[in-house]
Amino acid sequence: MNDRELELLFIDLDNTLTNRRLVYERWATGFVRKHPEVAMSRDLEATRRALIDADGLGAVPRDHFCAAIANLFPVGARPPIDKVWLEFGEDFIASIEPDPEVTDAVEQLAKRYRLALLSNGSGERQRAKLDRLGLERHFHRLFISDEVGAAKPDPQIFEHALSVCGVPRKRALMIGDDPKRDIAGALAVGLPACWIARGRRWSETGVAATPALRLPATAPTWVVEDLPALAHQLLADSDQLD
């Protein structure tokens, strides 16, 4: 991509502005401390593994996740699923801590590009996460699925964001960690995309092996380890062009 043509960065939130694994591990530690009865019938490490398995790095459907958490409680003391989800949401957000390197990356990128958040989730929760990170002031626009009425990888949310921002898609870049929602979704509407790999390989994501999704079996425009790595690359290229 020619950096001189890049004007706008669409940035995902979960596991892009945050490291979801670290946040989840902090939540799990707090959960056991808050609910010692969960660990009474097993050791702490077994409880921790059960909590991690229940989440599946965020890939487990909400109802299945909440049911798995509820089933960790003793019989007769299991909370309803809606209570589990409400408590998880509040405590998970409270477990988010700013990463100085990510904060610096966002600040530096915001000096050169327009930034827009493009995230799935509820407006209330995603805005609360941004508040915990202290990053909202750097974003010109926030596009959150529950507020837009469409969720990634639906083309509608990408088209809506591009239209509101008034930037040609070839002058924008979608940045995110989810191979299907962020990357394949963006590429399907002709929007260049940068995949936040976090130690994974694109060949292992399964995107190319799922034609039923009706998404392009193609690779991301860019692949980087995390957002600071992308910022370093973009800004280094910009300095060379200047």
All residue ranges of the chain with pLDDT < 70 are 1-4, 40-42, 206-218, 237-242
C-alpha neighbours within 13 Å on the C-beta side of residue 77: 8
Q: Output the pLDDT for position 213.
A: 45
Predicted local distance difference test score (pLDDT) of residue 31? 93
Which residues on neighbouring strands pair with residue 8, listed in sequence order?
114, 172
Domain spans, the chain: 3-18+98-237, 20-95
Q: Is the Cβ–Cβ distance between 189 and 168 less than 8 Å?
A: no
What is the edge-to-edge ordering of all strands in the sheet holding 8-11? 141-144, 114-119, 8-11, 172-176, 193-196, 222-224
* pLDDT tens digits, 123-139: 999 999 999 999 999 99
pLDDT at 238: 62
Rounded-to-integer distance, Cα 6 and Cα 162, Å:
13
Looking at domain 3-18+98-237, its CATH architecture is: 3-Layer(aba) Sandwich (3.40)
- Crossing angle for the helix pair 81-94 and 20-34, nearest 10 degrees? 120
Q: Tokens 């995902």 belong to which residue?
A: 12
Largest CA distance in the chain: 67
What b/e string do you get for 98-133 counting C-beta neighbours within 10 Å, with b at 16 or more?
A: ebeebbebbebbbeebbbbbbbbbeeebbbbbbebb
Q: Is the pTM here over 0.75, yes or no? A: yes
